Amino acid sequence: MAIALEDLHRRHPGLTLAVCSAYAEAAAVCLGRHHVSPQAVRTTDERAEQSYVVTWLGPSKRQEAAWANRDDATRDGAYSVALAVVEAHLGMVTTTRTARRSGTDYYLVPVGVAVDVGELDLEESIRLEVSGIGDPTTEAAVLYRLAQKVDQARKASSGLPAMAAVVAFGEPRVALRRA
């Protein structure tokens, strides 16, 4: 089964078509620097390693120009890939963005949990912190960034559980760890 980045909004209540499209476009630019679609993305967490096939629409020159700011492209593209992998690997989808300076980026719930976006019940939620690395890197650098993001999520004042995801576009790889 392949995960199409441009379709995440269909399963993730916390993504609109417009946001999903922008994230998928950024991911396509970042992935397209090193790979062609479809591509297996190696995913690891504390318990398992698994690869998931991710697909994206090849970026046009215009899209590459629109995402010429590599930091923004890496950040937003990492949201797309991380949310796709979290859904496949952990069976969780996003319900909403977290507040600014909350120490994390998104709230997640298990697939199948009823979500009323207007009246969000955070009881079953997990917070997700996402980071991206645009260029080829080492395993040690990925794990170092993951440790930083886990620490950031732990320091947040929320009492909800959290996890971190680091997307390394050059490999491609996603490292997950509970905070």
Residue-wise DSSP of 150-175: HHHHHHSS--S-EEEEEEETTTTEEE
Contacts 24+ apart (CB under 8 A), 59-67: 59/25, 59/28, 59/29, 59/32, 63/25, 63/28, 63/29, 64/29, 64/32, 66/25, 67/25, 67/26, 67/29, 67/30
| Per-residue model confidence as pLDDT tens digits over 53-70 | 999 998 999 999 999 999
Cα→Cα distances 76→6, 54, 155, Å: 13, 16, 23
- What is the pTM (predicted TM-score) of this model? 0.95
Q: Which residues of the chain have pLDDT under 50?
A: none
| Per-residue model confidence as pLDDT tens digits over 83-95 | 999 999 999 999 9
Q: pLDDT value at position 170?
A: 96
Q: pLDDT value at position 94?
A: 95
| Number of domains making up the chain | 1
Domain that holds residue 100: 2-178
> How many CA atoms, within 13 angstroms, populate the side-chain half-sphere of residue 64?
7
